[in-house]
Structure 1
Amino acid sequence: MSRETARPNIVLIVCDQLRGDCLGAAGHPDVKTPYLDTLAAEGALFENAYSACPSCIPARAALLTGRSQEHHGRVGYQDGIDWRYDHYLAEELGNAGYQTACVGKMHVHPPRLACGFQTLKLHDGYIGHYRHADTPYWQNQAVSDDYMRDMRDRLGASFDVNGSGVENNSWIAHPWIYEERYHPTNWVVDESIRFLETRDRTRPFFLTASFVRPHPPFDAPQSYFDGYYDRDLRAPACGDWDDTAATERDGMVLDSVHGCRDAELRRQAMAGYYACITHVDHQIGRLVTALENDGTYADTVVVFTSDHGEMLFDHSLFRKVLPYEGSAHIPLIVRAGKRVMAGRGAEAVPAGGRRVRGVVELRDIMPTLLDFAGAPVPDTVDGVSLAAAALGTGAVGRPYLHGEHARDREQSNHYIVTRNDKYIWFSQSGREQYFRLDEDPREEHDAIRDPACAERIALLRSLLAEELAGRREGFVESGSLVAGRPVSPYLG
């Protein structure tokens, strides 16, 4: 820790679209994540972490403001809406004396909005909204994206980040066609290490390293594809409620939520997704080594998470926005350095790391990091600090979480999840589902009509009605849920 402040440094590592089960530490049978597994073994793995609104923009609003979706107002995906909030995570840490930097994906609007970061090296990936001809010049990705500018300087004007032919929201997979060192995953760590090398040594630092991958395109370097391409991978989850007819109907549309009906293309996509994860993992290893070489690893809190997951053909579905585990369940690891733990009077980490079962959400990261920094938590924050739970000196008390995602089709949904079960309500059709996660973690049996579960389902339904009472959409009348109300991705 900085001798001047005795406060820990903080590194927040964020992936885009990484499922909560896709870690070796989480027991995945195929994905190899040795560096993340080490962080989990030296810290705490939160086994029931969720993205309450599982797509990029609302998830990042929760992460950067500490607010619930009801209060930051983004209950679905919509580009081009200005971010206007009173308190941001980086802003509060900057006010507390931290040097703050973000490298990689922000996905805010306008695209160079700093959100309190004093240094910003941006790469948001391929976002169509910022590539349109009518986009203001200064917002266009060709101008605002630092990675794209760097690659054109190194490789010439012909550089094409999508040159391998893969799509940014699809299941097409193909290895990266340039040298590995030019991949955006490597670039995030290159620039993060450069920040560590050139930072102000009189202050603690807050660094966010934010990767676009494993969000499509599935384009890891060839060597990472080689590790998965010919392996016999675990089959996607298959339940008694799957809509395979929708997959047959829509399963060759690249951006459909109904997956892909071609078995070989599904296998290739899974291999590409896992390859991107292992590639990110190895680059995180580079970042950890840089912290060790910098002499600050023992004084640093490292947090790893993702904005949301990826269905990856579970239940014949693909992408995010859905309330199921593949989409809404995310990884969360908190690893405090030895001197940080000693300063907080923390218990020794048990062999294999701590496992925390309480239900947590992205909004909890801001108060957690402010807690570690000894900084005040603004009264706009809805999340709770997980620092004590991560250090073994406390617990997480949230009994349940309300999540949702608004869409203009049948996928608009709300869910109530606990550490043991989940109730889902689709707001346009009124369809309900219920899963006993403690017995059925892959959600393969929809128990909504099981008589033994009726009382429990009624309780969770009533909790959802309480959460939605008073919402402007009119989801609740006389204490009961009402389907078919118009929805919008932004509450204002």
Structure 2
Amino acid sequence: MSPRNILFIMCDQLRFDYLGCTGHPSIRTPHIDALATRGVRFDRAYVQSPICGPSRMSFYTGRYVRSHGSSWNMVPLKVGERTLGEYLRPHGLRTVLCGKTHMTADIEGMQRLGVETSSDIGALLSECGFEVWDRLDGVHPTGGKMPSHYNAYLNEQGYDGENPWEDWANSGEDEDGTILSGWLMQNAGRPARVKLEDSESNYTTTRAMEFIDQAGDDPWCLHLSYIKPHWPYIAPAPYHDMYGAGDVPPAIRSEEELQDPHPLLAAYHAHRTSKCMARDDVREAVIPAYMGLITQIDDQIGVLMAHLEAAGKLDDTLIVFTSDHGDYLGDHWLGEKELFHDPSVRVPLIVVDPDPAADATRGTVNSDLVEAIDLVPTLIEASGGEVPDHILEGHSLMPLLHGAKDWPRGTAVSEYDFAFREARTLLGTEIRDSRAVMVFDGRWKLVHVTGFRPMLFDLETDPQEFRDLGDDPAHAETRDRLGAELLRWTERLRTRTTITDARVDRLTEVEKDEGIWIGFWNEADVARAKKAPKGRS
């Protein structure tokens, strides 16, 4: 039974281990935990790049970063790349965005093809294939990356200023009424000046429910994409002080990591964000606010589930809950994300399939290696479509949701283009060579860095990834094996996307059927070839 609706929920910068159902010792996320009870929680889910834009483009295209080409936040997604909406709309699902995509449109490509952004197809190409209900990528101090529905909403609610997000949602104030910037981490414990009901997460949920009501009985795929708990780390009351320093887990780091670190790791240790988040006082100020933002989202998911139930849609809606990447939060002496330790590259993933065929797996935890690119084929199959394997590089999760034990993936791959970061200038690498790729087989994690030795971690004996074995002679065989896996991965990238494998098979040796006999000596050779099985002369 195909679900009538799909609810695709994504958080921004939510770590895999900051939920109750994933083992956090004190965070309260009962509504997300309830989703895990109703569905399958995939415990080893990895994103294709540990930064917003490229990761999301892989979520939306079902393709690795090397294939879709959007390698960093400001790099446009090529105009020819198909995305989720293009796959689902033919099956009758209105595919709508409420929240963030971090999409950068390929304006140059559209102009080359004569496609106006104001046209129907141009609008879809500009918005990653989604019909925009409400796009909120986050707003910047200057007013943002794009005209913001949210800023207009805040003005309508009486919040003054040209950029009310900056002045109200991203600011607190002291006892004297002095406005304090949410960008400064020392202010993380202050409540945002905006009212709770007008804060980013509540606003986005409200807009999502408005869409559900407006859609009526028409089937839909709604991408509900929260911009939190991504920085700036400032939460509205009462979430700003819901947690305290006693709720902050000890940092996952070791002095060993500072002793002769890999050059790329050393360069990231030198970044301002890392120096700041490595401080205990910063962690104790920031992480409680981060946790509060997560619990706020959890409460909003509770509101949304109640709304779906009241509308009679809960039992025929497939629900996905995930994140685009994690957050180091001072682990490994790092801030932000961007490298390949689990706090950065591993994400929560919960899928609730309403089909009775999934009853046997409800409430289970799956430990197969899954990737962000698996969601597009999953949602296509759930909608009754045929998965275009010559384009998509992920695998549908539907068999696992319905109790299958076999899974075709033995390794997970993630990529990062650090050409845009200070690390490149610190290392002195060329822009084209500023790349790193992770390959992980469930135990061994190899990070290939162009121009440098690899990193290698054994997560069986070193689950916290403290000991880099990348230059240990005793592990040369493992490095060679994973290097070969990485080469095999590059060989299997889907670069032929305009023709299916089935059509390739039909066209094999087609020139002979058309009377084009190349390399034949005489009529007897031709006669024998006509009798031979296809593909053999």
1:221 partnered with 2:236: yes
Q: Which moved more, 1:171-180 or 1:244-253?
A: 244-253
- 1:452-467 alignment runs, 5 A limit: 453-467=475-489
The match for 2:378 among 368, 375, 387 is 368
Q: Give 1:284's aligned amino acid.
A: I
Distance 1:417 1:11 in 2: 29
What's the offset of the Cα at 1:230?
Answer: 4.1
What's the offset of the Cα at 1:267?
Answer: 1.1
The match for 2:437 among 403, 407, 414 is 414
Q: Give 1:402's aligned amino acid.
A: V
SS at match of 1:348: helix
Distance 1:166 1:157 in 2: 16
2:531 maps to what in 1? none
1:315 partnered with 2:332: yes
1:234 maps to what in 2? 249
Q: Tell me if the contact between 1:105 and 1:124 (Cα under 8 Å) persists in the aligned partners.
A: yes
2:90 maps to what in 1? 95
SS at match of 2:320: strand
Q: Tell me if the contact between 2:417 and 2:435 (Cα under 8 Å) persists in the aligned partners.
A: yes
Distance 1:305 1:250 in 2: 26
Q: Give 1:71's aligned amino acid.
A: S
1:182 partnered with 2:198: yes
The match for 1:334 among 330, 351, 354 is 351
1:84 partnered with 2:79: yes
1:474 maps to what in 2? none
1:399 maps to what in 2? 410
CA 1:366/1:171 → structure 2, altered by over 3 Å: closer, same or farther? farther
CA 1:259/1:468 → structure 2, altered by over 3 Å: closer, same or farther? farther
1:380 maps to what in 2? 391
Distance 1:32 1:245 in 2: 39
Q: Which moved more, 1:150-159 or 1:50-59?
A: 150-159
Distance 2:439 2:170 in 1: 38
What's the offset of the Cα at 1:210?
Answer: 0.3
CA 1:121/1:305 → structure 2, altered by over 3 Å: closer, same or farther? same
1:114 maps to what in 2? 127
- 1:286-305 alignment runs, 5 A limit: 286-305=303-322
SS at match of 1:59: helix
2:457 maps to what in 1? 435
What's the offset of the Cα at 1:183?
Answer: 0.6
Distance 1:12 1:376 in 2: 20
CA 1:402/1:251 → structure 2, altered by over 3 Å: closer, same or farther? closer
What's the offset of the Cα at 1:204?
Answer: 1.6
RMSD: 2.9
SS at match of 2:358: coil
Q: Give 1:163's aligned amino acid.
A: S
Distance 2:186 2:379 in 1: 35
CA 1:224/1:167 → structure 2, altered by over 3 Å: closer, same or farther? closer
1:123 maps to what in 2? 136
Q: Give 2:20's aligned amino acid.
A: G
Q: Deviations over 1:423-443 (max 9, x none)?
A: 122324x13322222343321
What's the offset of the Cα at 1:369?
Answer: 0.7
Q: Give 1:225's aligned amino acid.
A: H
Q: Deviations over 1:144-163 (max 9, x none)?
A: 22111111111244223433
Identity, % of aligned pairs?
29
What's the offset of the Cα at 1:469?
Answer: 7.1
Distance 1:18 1:306 in 2: 6
What's the offset of the Cα at 1:294?
Answer: 1.0
2:508 maps to what in 1? none
CA 1:129/1:331 → structure 2, altered by over 3 Å: closer, same or farther? farther
What's the offset of the Cα at 1:115?
Answer: 3.0
Q: Which moved more, 1:380-389 or 1:453-462?
A: 453-462
CA 1:274/1:166 → structure 2, altered by over 3 Å: closer, same or farther? farther
Q: Tell me if the contact between 1:354 and 1:390 (Cα under 8 Å) persists in the aligned partners.
A: no
CA 1:179/1:423 → structure 2, altered by over 3 Å: closer, same or farther? same
Q: Tell me if the contact between 2:278 and 2:335 (Cα under 8 Å) persists in the aligned partners.
A: no
Q: Tell me if the contact between 1:220 and 1:276 (Cα under 8 Å) persists in the aligned partners.
A: yes
Higher helix share: 2
Distance 2:156 2:270 in 1: 37
Q: Give 1:9's aligned amino acid.
A: N
CA 1:59/1:222 → structure 2, altered by over 3 Å: closer, same or farther? same
CA 1:470/1:51 → structure 2, altered by over 3 Å: closer, same or farther? closer
Distance 2:127 2:236 in 1: 31
Q: Give 1:13's aligned amino acid.
A: I
Q: Which moved more, 1:148-157 or 1:66-75?
A: 148-157
Q: Give 1:405's aligned amino acid.
A: Y
2:516 maps to what in 1? none
Distance 2:381 2:32 in 1: 23
CA 1:41/1:453 → structure 2, altered by over 3 Å: closer, same or farther? farther
SS at match of 1:422: strand
1:445 maps to what in 2? 467
Q: Tell me if the contact between 1:103 and 1:210 (Cα under 8 Å) persists in the aligned partners.
A: yes
What's the offset of the Cα at 1:84?
Answer: 1.2
What's the offset of the Cα at 1:259?
Answer: 4.2
SS at match of 1:209: strand
Distance 1:65 1:240 in 2: 40
2:15 maps to what in 1? 19
Q: Tell me if the contact between 2:5 and 2:219 (Cα under 8 Å) persists in the aligned partners.
A: yes
What's the offset of the Cα at 1:347?
Answer: 4.2
Q: Tell me if the contact between 2:381 and 2:398 (Cα under 8 Å) persists in the aligned partners.
A: yes
What's the offset of the Cα at 1:446?
Answer: 2.7
Q: Tell me if the contact between 2:358 and 2:401 (Cα under 8 Å) persists in the aligned partners.
A: no
Q: Which moved more, 1:304-313 or 1:445-454?
A: 445-454
What's the offset of the Cα at 1:284?
Answer: 1.1
What's the offset of the Cα at 1:285?
Answer: 1.1
Q: Tell me if the contact between 1:49 and 1:329 (Cα under 8 Å) persists in the aligned partners.
A: yes
Distance 1:172 1:427 in 2: 39
What's the offset of the Cα at 1:298?
Answer: 1.0
Mark the structure with the bigger radius of gyration.
Answer: 2
Q: Give 2:98's aligned amino acid.
A: V
CA 1:252/1:151 → structure 2, altered by over 3 Å: closer, same or farther? farther
SS at match of 1:346: helix
Q: Give 2:170's aligned amino acid.
A: N
1:423 maps to what in 2? 446
Q: Give 2:400's aligned amino acid.
A: A
- 1:201-280 alignment runs, 5 A limit: 201=217, 203-239=218-254, 241-243=256-258, 256-280=273-297
Distance 1:366 1:422 in 2: 25
Q: Which moved more, 1:371-380 or 1:40-49?
A: 371-380
Q: Give 1:90's aligned amino acid.
A: G
Aligned residues, how many? 446
Q: Tell me if the contact between 2:50 and 2:326 (Cα under 8 Å) persists in the aligned partners.
A: yes
Distance 1:369 1:470 in 2: 23
TM-score scaled by structure 1?
0.83
What's the offset of the Cα at 1:455?
Answer: 2.4
Distance 1:152 1:396 in 2: 51
TM-score scaled by structure 2?
0.76
Q: Deviations over 1:166-199 (max 9, x none)?
A: 4569786243211101111001100111111111
CA 1:248/1:373 → structure 2, altered by over 3 Å: closer, same or farther? closer
Q: Tell me if the contact between 2:182 and 2:234 (Cα under 8 Å) persists in the aligned partners.
A: no
Q: Deviations over 1:366-391 (max 9, x none)?
A: 11011111122233211110112123
Q: Which moved more, 1:418-427 or 1:275-284?
A: 418-427
